[in-house]
Amino acid sequence: MAKVNISLDAELVVEVMVLAGIGSPQDAVEAIVRDYIARGHRTEARTELKDRSLHEVDVKPQDPQG
């Protein structure tokens, strides 16, 4: 797996470590990034289900009016 080195504000990393309860800066930042990605996937899944249900409502024949 390829690695990327970036510079982050030390206070930001310490806050992430404290909030995540992780002692290693590397592990803490990786955990936050993985959580962000997982949250995005969950949001996509919910949005897709909602779009499908809206599409199914649009496709159903409407009752005769009048």
Note the pLDDT tens digit of each residue in 30-45. Answer: 999 999 999 998 888 8
Q: In Å, how far are 24, 31, 39 from 16, measured between CA atoms?
A: 10, 9, 17
pLDDT band at 22 (very low <50, low <70, confident <90, very high): very high
Q: Is the pLDDT of residue 12 over 90?
A: yes
* 8 A C-beta contact, residue 17 and residue 23: yes
23 vs 63, higher pLDDT = 23
Tokens of 49: 């289900």
Report angle CA 25, 26, 29 to the nearest 5 degrees: 80
Q: Is the pLDDT of residue 50 over 80?
A: no
